[in-house]
Structure 1
């Protein structure tokens, strides 16, 4: 796949940073104001050097100077936007996520920062959070870019709707139409994709572009598509230096709304998600003091008429371990009541896209029938009918491949609508 060619058509305008602005000091000069003026001047010099290094492609220097500029003036949104751009160019998506979140804290109307924040989230595999962020900032992110970002975040249907409306506008340009063509390809609508691509390109070039998108539409990792569009190579990211982070938000309020809602659905199923455990205080930032409530013993009374509890016979260790081994390695799906939940999504269409991604990530899902159910405003995606040991083993395997899941009992799960349609088509042949 030619990553540079893809970047030139679709997201070429996304990484524009704000203009660098100088800081002037007025009034009576004091030691404090002179010191602040010196820091501001040094920060401006670092920002300019970062801009120059970024233009030359020297990303190591660009990041170093941009971090120094932010350290000198922590509340300068333009410097933080510049820092986010250097991180994106370097393929450091986790650091870019942090930088652009800080930009929006300082400058809530910065649409470019909102769009780049969503792209960083998508590259990290945080599709639910990215869609929630794009919806939150819909008023400041142009539909021509937002539609493509929504599609990359797992909802190509909504992306097509947004871009179709944008492409019909009298002010629509070639980039908008090409974004629409790409999103149609991501939605599997290849004939329409070719037609739209051909509006601004010759037949041979349009055919080549659609072939290129065929490969692009089947990513292996979460960062593949964003990396290809931006023309960057993802790297192992140590994260933004802690000293540069803004500390204006509490951990609970800084958590994306979609994450909190997803955790609510998890809690309803009787499981605790990592985010929920963090919010509850199981894990916290260094230096945070955790206070535990007084420990209380709870004795649950047996219902009347219950059979007396008999002490189990003591088995030999070898016998117990052999039984555990048989249970944990069993592969047969015997119509059990345990399910592996893969996520909670905005709609069944988004869940279908997530299921396709999960199958590519973890081959053990091949041949399994996806199940789902509506829960409040979300659609739960799961696969089940296992014994507890089988479900645990399947979930562990998926996690080892970078997926997220948890095991629960049946909660009214039914065969997913798209899986039912596929069975009907096969039966009619």
Structure 2
């Protein structure tokens, strides 16, 4: 859908952040209709279920869409289209972990599923796993439009990189108002407010531009990682019980092998990984040098001391906040973290460039704490929806782009 300059009513409908400053409609973020047979035929049960799911999505009834999509997947478990629809339904029902699982399953069945690729990146961003989201957007770059990929990239911690991609469409001869507003939003996420205002003003009156800037100032300061994606999509995150076990993907070749093999009883119980969120989770485990966090149910917390009172005469412990692909992304991540967490307001970030698998990563941390103080800070950040883990000093130094603040350094 294209908004025509001067048509204020239509422009508001397309661009209003309250209804979701949606990604450019290329078939990835809106209902995707699949090819119909040339010869009319009676609708099968799975056809009716998928149609019902698409209608429910269009009417913003995410829970109903999930119910229909789950039934469709149960009838055709190896059809990538239905898995992609299920992931889209979970996403719009505010169930981000299940959305990531279903979208990943769809891509295993068919890596050309555009809607699944975009939904996977958005779900990973909502779960706080920016590194995985950016990797997903890179892996499926060829099947995603630059505008869709750009705004998703901006949400995943690289707003300047996202603005470059969106600009490919926003500055072209067929540029739409939606693309220009998405470009403005990416610039706002990067902190380039004057540029964002100038781009937004191309399609909006001065009064609407000011309203948009106020909306975006609230948008760029979310409390949790999931809040920004939820606001974008116009949904409410909910506690996710996980995808039904009966819908777990079993690839046909693996299933045939499993049926032919003799059953084996393990010597001891083996714990398996799961993306299901459990109520009352109190901690998150992190892989080395990878930013991962899942939404934690709100709970009462005892008052904790902030790191401003820490004396760093001999502290050698650091709280790592993430590992990023460039210093620019690390700086944006720090600015975002400071806005979200008051405990970081008076601290100075440290950075260390490391080589992992032939690629350079910039570790972002704050440090110079005693072990107990570092652990307290990390727990506080996690309780507020942040991502972190505690480690000892490992080449950390004050980030070259850091401004003033209280520097705590190991000695």
**Length-normalised TM-score, structure 2:** 0.74
| Pairs within 5 Å for 1:241-256 | 241-248=244-251
Aligned position for 2:383: 400
Q: Measure the CA separation in 1 of the matches of 2:193 and 2:385.
A: 30
Specify the structure having the higher radius of gyration (Cα).
1
Aligned position for 1:212: 215
Q: Measure the CA separation in 1 of the matches of 2:49 and 2:78.
A: 15
| Pairs within 5 Å for 1:180-259 | 180-248=183-251
Q: Measure the CA separation in 1 of the matches of 2:292 and 2:103.
A: 23
| Pairs within 5 Å for 1:25-424 | 41-248=44-251, 263=287, 265=289, 331-376=310-355, 377-419=360-402, 421-422=403-404
- The structure-2 alpha-carbon separation of the partners of 1:16 and 1:207, relative to structure 1 and needing over 3 Å to count, comes to same
Query: How much is the aligned-residue C-alpha RMSD, in angstroms?
Result: 3.3
1:110-163 deviation line (CA, Å, top 9, x unaligned): 222211211111111111110111111111111111111111111112112222
Secondary structure, in 3 states, of the residue corresponding to 2:343? helix
Secondary structure, in 3 states, of the residue corresponding to 1:417? coil
Secondary structure, in 3 states, of the residue corresponding to 1:171? coil
Contact 2:310 2:369 in 1 (8 A): no
Structure 1 stretches lacking a partner, 5+ long:
25-37, 256-261, 267-272, 276-329, 424-429
Secondary structure, in 3 states, of the residue corresponding to 2:323? strand
Q: Measure the CA separation in 2 of the matches of 1:56 and 1:161.
A: 33
Q: Measure the CA separation in 2 of the matches of 1:59 and 1:404.
A: 28
Contact 1:88 1:96 in 2 (8 A): yes
Contact 1:18 1:81 in 2 (8 A): no
1:287-343 deviation line (CA, Å, top 9, x unaligned): xxxxxxxxxxxxxxxxxxxxxxxxxxxxxxxxxxxxxxxxxxx94322422222222
Q: Measure the CA separation in 1 of the matches of 2:14 and 2:30.
A: 19
Contact 2:322 2:364 in 1 (8 A): yes
Q: Whose helix proportion is higher, 1 or 2?
A: 1
Secondary structure, in 3 states, of the residue corresponding to 1:146? helix
- The number of equivalent residue pairs is 341
C-alpha displacement of 1:263: 4.0
C-alpha displacement of 1:242: 2.1
Q: Measure the CA separation in 2 of the matches of 1:365 and 1:94.
A: 28
- The structure-2 alpha-carbon separation of the partners of 1:120 and 1:369, relative to structure 1 and needing over 3 Å to count, comes to same
- The structure-2 alpha-carbon separation of the partners of 1:54 and 1:402, relative to structure 1 and needing over 3 Å to count, comes to closer
Aligned position for 2:16: 5
- Of 240-249 and 122-131, deviating more is 240-249
Query: In the alignment, is residue 16 of structure 1 matched against residue 30 of structure 2?
Result: yes
Q: Measure the CA separation in 2 of the matches of 1:211 and 1:236.
A: 30
Structure 2 stretches lacking a partner, 5+ long:
1-12, 255-270, 276-285, 294-308, 406-411
**Length-normalised TM-score, structure 1:** 0.71
